[in-house]
Structure 1
Amino acid sequence: MHWADARQAARDAVKPLEAVELPLADALGMALASPVRALVALPGYDNSAMDGYAVAGTGPWTVVGAVRAGGVPHPSPLRPGTAVEIATGAPVPPGTRAVLPVEHAVHKGRRVAGTVPDGKHVRRRGEDCPEGRELLATATTVTAAGLGAAAQAGHDTLLVHRRPRVAVVVTGDELETSGRPRPGRVRDAIGPMLPGLLRAAGAEEHGLLCRSLPIRLQPRRKRVPTSRSAAARIRLLPVGLVTWLADRPDGLTAALTEGDADVVVVCGATSAGPADHLRGVLQALRADVRVNGVACRPGHPQLLAVLLDGRCVVGLPGNPFAALAAGLTLLAPLLATLGGHRVPAPLTARLTGPVTPHHQDTKLVAVTRSGSTATPTGHDRPGSLWGAALADALAVIPPEWDGGEAELLPLPS
Structure 2
Amino acid sequence: MSETAGARNVDWSVARRLAHEAGRPLPFQTVNLADALGQTLAEPVRALQDIPHYASSAMDGWAVNGEPPWTLVGHAEPEEHPRGRAAPHADSGEISLAPGEATFILTGGVVPRNASGILRTEHGSVRGSVLERNESARQDEPAHHEHVRPAGEEAAEGAEAIPAGVVLNPAQIALAAVCGHDTLTVLRAPRVSLLMTGDEVIDHGLPLPGQVRDTFGPQLPGFVAMLGGHVDVAGRAKDDLDDVIAAISAEPTDEFSLARASGDVLITTGGTGSSSADHIRRALTELGAEMIIDGISMRPGHPTLLARLPDGRFLVGLPGNPLAAMMAMLTVAGPLLAGLRGSPLEDPATVSIADAFEPLPGRSRLVPYRLEAGRAVPSTHQRSGMLRGLASADGVLVVPPAGCAPGDVVPALALPWTAR
Distance 1:370 1:149 in 2: 40
C-alpha RMSD over aligned residues = 2.7
- Equivalent residue number for residue 111 of structure 1: 131
Give the alignment partner of residue 115 of structure 2, picking from 96, 106, 123: 96
Distance 1:108 1:370 in 2: 67
List per-residue Cα deviations over 1:25-60 (Å, max 9, x = no partner). Answer: 223222223222211211111112233333333445
Q: Which has the higher contact order (CA 8 A, sep 6+)?
A: 2
Distance 1:365 1:50 in 2: 58
- Equivalent residue number for residue 361 of structure 1: 363
SS of equivalent to 1:332: helix
- Equivalent residue number for residue 407 of structure 1: 412
- Equivalent residue number for residue 252 of structure 1: 244
8 Å contact kept, 1:348–1:372: no
Equivalence map 1:10-21=2 (5 Å): 10-21=19-30
- The structure-2 alpha-carbon separation of the partners of 1:312 and 1:54, relative to structure 1 and needing over 3 Å to count, comes to same
- Equivalent residue number for residue 60 of structure 2: 51
TM-aligned CA deviation for residue 278 of structure 1: 0.8
Quick one: which amino acid aligns to residue 244 of structure 1? Answer: R
- Equivalent residue number for residue 175 of structure 1: 201
1:313 aligns with 2:305: no
Distance 1:58 1:365 in 2: 73
Distance 2:379 2:60 in 1: 53
Deviates more, 1:36-45 or 1:384-393: 384-393
TM-aligned CA deviation for residue 264 of structure 1: 0.7
- Equivalent residue number for residue 276 of structure 1: 278
- Equivalent residue number for residue 304 of structure 2: 302
Quick one: which amino acid aligns to residue 414 of structure 2? Answer: L
Question: Which sections of structure 1, spanning at least 5 residues, go unmatched?
Answer: 208-241
- Equivalent residue number for residue 213 of structure 1: none
- The structure-2 alpha-carbon separation of the partners of 1:145 and 1:174, relative to structure 1 and needing over 3 Å to count, comes to same
Deviates more, 1:254-263 or 1:328-337: 254-263
List per-residue Cα deviations over 1:43-99 (Å, max 9, x = no partner). Answer: 111112233333333445555445855553434223344433332222111223333
Distance 1:186 1:378 in 2: 22
Equivalence map 1:84-233=2 (5 Å): 84-102=103-121, 105-107=123-125, 109=127, 111-113=131-133, 114-115=137-138, 116-207=142-233
SS of equivalent to 1:160: strand
Distance 1:266 1:387 in 2: 24
TM-aligned CA deviation for residue 410 of structure 1: 2.9
- The structure-2 alpha-carbon separation of the partners of 1:89 and 1:399, relative to structure 1 and needing over 3 Å to count, comes to farther
* Seq. identity, %: 39
Paired residues in the alignment total: 377
- The structure-2 alpha-carbon separation of the partners of 1:48 and 1:192, relative to structure 1 and needing over 3 Å to count, comes to same
TM-aligned CA deviation for residue 358 of structure 1: 4.7
SS of equivalent to 1:131: coil
TM-aligned CA deviation for residue 7 of structure 1: 0.8
8 Å contact kept, 1:69–1:91: no
1:380 aligns with 2:382: yes
Distance 2:24 2:102 in 1: 60
Quick one: which amino acid aligns to residue 411 of structure 2? Answer: A
Quick one: which amino acid aligns to residue 77 of structure 1? Answer: S
Q: Give me the TM-score of the superposition, normalised by structure 1.
A: 0.82
8 Å contact kept, 2:22–2:339: no
Distance 2:373 2:57 in 1: 40
8 Å contact kept, 2:202–2:212: yes
SS of equivalent to 1:183: coil
Distance 1:384 1:73 in 2: 72
TM-aligned CA deviation for residue 144 of structure 1: 2.0
TM-aligned CA deviation for residue 392 of structure 1: 4.2
List per-residue Cα deviations over 1:179-220 (Å, max 9, x = no partner). Answer: 12122211111221211111112211122xxxxxxxxxxxxx
- Equivalent residue number for residue 4 of structure 2: none
List per-residue Cα deviations over 1:77-122 (Å, max 9, x = no partner). Answer: 233444333322221112233334445x253545342234433332
- Equivalent residue number for residue 391 of structure 2: 389
Distance 2:230 2:205 in 1: 27
1:28 aligns with 2:37: yes
Distance 1:246 1:86 in 2: 74
Distance 2:372 2:173 in 1: 30
Distance 1:331 1:133 in 2: 37
- The structure-2 alpha-carbon separation of the partners of 1:117 and 1:373, relative to structure 1 and needing over 3 Å to count, comes to farther
TM-aligned CA deviation for residue 366 of structure 1: 2.3
- Equivalent residue number for residue 16 of structure 2: 7
8 Å contact kept, 2:195–2:237: yes
TM-aligned CA deviation for residue 131 of structure 1: 0.9
Quick one: which amino acid aligns to residue 349 of structure 2? Answer: T
8 Å contact kept, 2:86–2:105: no
SS of equivalent to 1:191: coil
List per-residue Cα deviations over 1:383-411 (Å, max 9, x = no partner). Answer: 12222222343233334667126333332
Equivalence map 1:228-243=2 (5 Å): 242-243=234-235
Distance 2:65 2:410 in 1: 59
8 Å contact kept, 1:270–1:317: yes
Distance 2:345 2:103 in 1: 52
Quick one: which amino acid aligns to residue 253 of structure 1? Answer: I
- The structure-2 alpha-carbon separation of the partners of 1:69 and 1:371, relative to structure 1 and needing over 3 Å to count, comes to farther
Quick one: which amino acid aligns to residue 125 of structure 2? Answer: H
Distance 1:375 1:84 in 2: 69
Distance 1:160 1:379 in 2: 41
Distance 2:285 2:342 in 1: 29
- The structure-2 alpha-carbon separation of the partners of 1:56 and 1:356, relative to structure 1 and needing over 3 Å to count, comes to farther
